[in-house]
Chain A
Amino acid sequence: MNKEFKDSIPTDSEVILGILNNSESVLKRLYVAYFPMVLQLIINNNGTPDDAKDIYQEAIIILYNKIKAGDFELSSKLKTFIYSVCRRLWLKRLSQMSRYGGDIRDFHDHFQVDEDVDKQNDLDVQFSKMESALQLLGEPCKTIMEDFYIHNLSMQDICDRFGYTNADNAKTQKYKCLQRLKKLFFQQK
């Protein structure tokens, strides 16, 4: 694979296959290919390059999850999908900041993507809850939770890592941590 080919805009089916196969290079090519389009949209509609980064990454994540979940139908061009999602997200952001003057300068075709964006929005709410719950949980619970539930370490590994005298102690500790984390998570409104 020469460099030129690597940097070129990936075809839509290439992107879908690449994401399903966790290809880092496809993700990168996808990201690089459409960022300028979104940057153009945002900075010419009252936004900063940082806003563009946030919005664009959110859109890529929506696309990524959609593909991973297997419910992405290639009914339109990827480019149009990304542009539409970004446009929708940006309009939302603008009205939240009450900077939305009622019109937006468009650069490409777009279509309605409310459903995808709203779905993502619900997930984001859950994630931000999780984030603050983990923050409040503190160490060593946070690491224990991550090691066990995310990195799938065995109780024995955790026991060794944290220097618990036996696996039962570690289990008890893990259980307490989990109960606290759940409490923190579900308590949030």
Chain B
Amino acid sequence: MTELKLQEEIERYLNGEMSPQERKQFELLRKEDASINHKLAEHQLFTQVLKQYNTRLALETRLNAIHDEIDVHTLTESLMIHPSWVVRLWRNHHSKISVAASIGIFAVLSVMFLTGYFSNQDSKYIQLKRDVANLNIKTTQLKKDVAQSAKGGNRSVADRYRGTGFAITSGGILVTNYHVVSEYDSVYVQNAAGKSFKAKVLYTEPQSDIAILKIVDTAFHNLGPIPYTFKKTASDLAENVYTYGYPQDQPVYGYGKLTSANGLNGDSLDYQISIPVNPGNSGGPLMDNKGNVIGIVQAKQSQLEGVHFAVKTSYLLSALDSLDQKVTLNTKNTMSNLNDAQQLKKLKNYVFMVKVYDK
């Protein structure tokens, strides 16, 4: 039997076109030859798919015809949920937006990096660290380490530290900073004329950095009436103030403003002042321009220019109260109406260089 004939037989069999006798014969053939059986099954499946495919096409055509009658556009308009334009923008373009944002962030970071923003951050951090370290160091105290700068040949090689002191009474009681005389063996004070007198430390108050000295030298004579007074109340910010002291062999005048009612880290012991002062100024008077002593120059902050500190007069007064002997303070101010130059002329005789000889 040829392939063509077999194919025909299969089709006739499947379509039920065979007579009962032919049918019987063909079924016998199927049993004998498995390949015929296989062909039959394959053909059956194939024609089935072909028919189904066509049915599908027909159905699709029908559905398309129905679909064409629907006004899809109007329906779409009415059924579309319109979220706010931001949401729509995000939904439709979120990948683009994300990419743009990433590029933006990257660009900003690159620019920051290239312009050294990050290294600046670093240095700020170091500055902060320095400040923290300052808390420990507190302040560089303004006593002058003479020995370490002992290149000045005209200076006595024996004196170890220098500071400034000023008179409280005409009888030779002086005040300076405790830190100036803290390591003293003997103390001398030198007046504006260059004459030295031996002094002894009467009293010290380390917590307020105050030391009271008394000139015990026999060569010393009465100073005459003190021209300035001591201000008991707190001074106002922005008040004009000045200092006078011995950072060098010659007295130096310094002029500035009272900048804060409190010292380093809110220390209520001190005023903060903006006067250029130097080592050796410690213990000098801080004057307002009415001729009142408002403080004792004490320290400077090591890292910042123009930030200096002075112990408030009220601490000096309370220290004086602790003395064994009664100290009568001058109450008559003879400087109040004078200008600065005239004030200094009066003041200079009452301000001394304090020279300390260590053990």
List chain A positions with a Cβ less than 8 A from chain B: 24, 27-28, 31-32, 35-36, 39-40, 43-44, 46, 49, 52-53, 57, 60-61, 64, 105, 123, 126-127, 130-131, 145-146, 149-150, 171-172, 175, 178, 182, 185
Contact = CB atoms under 8 A, between A and B. Distances in A.
Given A44-B80, A145-B50, A175-B7, A39 B72 contact: yes
Interface in B49-68: 49-54, 56, 59-60, 62-64, 66-67
A185 B51 contact: no
B46 A40 contact: no
Nearest to A128: B53
A61 B59 contact: yes
Contacts of A32: 66, 69-70
A123 B50 CA distance: 11
Given A36-B79, A175-B7, A28 B50 contact: no
A39 B7 contact: no
B217 interface: no
Nearest to A151: B54
17 contacts: A24-B62, A27-B62, A27-B66, A36-B75, A36-B79, A39-B72, A39-B79, A46-B91, A49-B72, A52-B72, A53-B72, A60-B63, A61-B56, A123-B52, A171-B4, A182-B42, A182-B46
Given A32-B70, A61-B59, A149-B47, 9 more contacts: A27-B62, A31-B63, A32-B66, A39-B72, A43-B80, A44-B79, A57-B64, A127-B53, A182-B42
A31 B69 CA distance: 11
A105 to B, nearest CB: 8
Contacts of A182: 42, 46
B59 A149 contact: no
A57 B67 contact: yes
Interface string B197-222: 00000000000000000000000000
Nearest to B73: A49
Contacts of B47: 149
B183 to A, nearest CB: 78
Contacts of A145: 50
Main DSSP-derived SS at the A contact region: helix
Nearest to A126: B49
A131 B50 CA distance: 9
Interface residues of B, number: 31
A27 B72 CA distance: 18
B51 A149 contact: yes
Contacts of B59: 61, 64
B81 interface: yes
B39 to A, nearest CB: 10
B236 interface: no
Contacts of A40: 79
Contacts of B185: none
A149 B49 CA distance: 11
A88 to B, nearest CB: 19
A145 B42 CA distance: 16
A36 B14 CA distance: 44
B56 A127 contact: yes
A145 B53 CA distance: 13
Contacts of A36: 75, 79
A76 B72 CA distance: 28
Given A32-B66, A182-B46, A57 B75 contact: no
B79 A178 contact: no
Interface string B17-58: 000000000000000000000000010001101111110100
B84 interface: no
Nearest to A130: B53
Contacts of A44: 79-81
A146 B51 CA distance: 9
Contacts of A123: 52
B8 interface: yes
B149 interface: no
Contact of A149 (B7, B50, B60): B50
B66 A31 contact: yes
Nearest to B91: A46
B233 interface: no
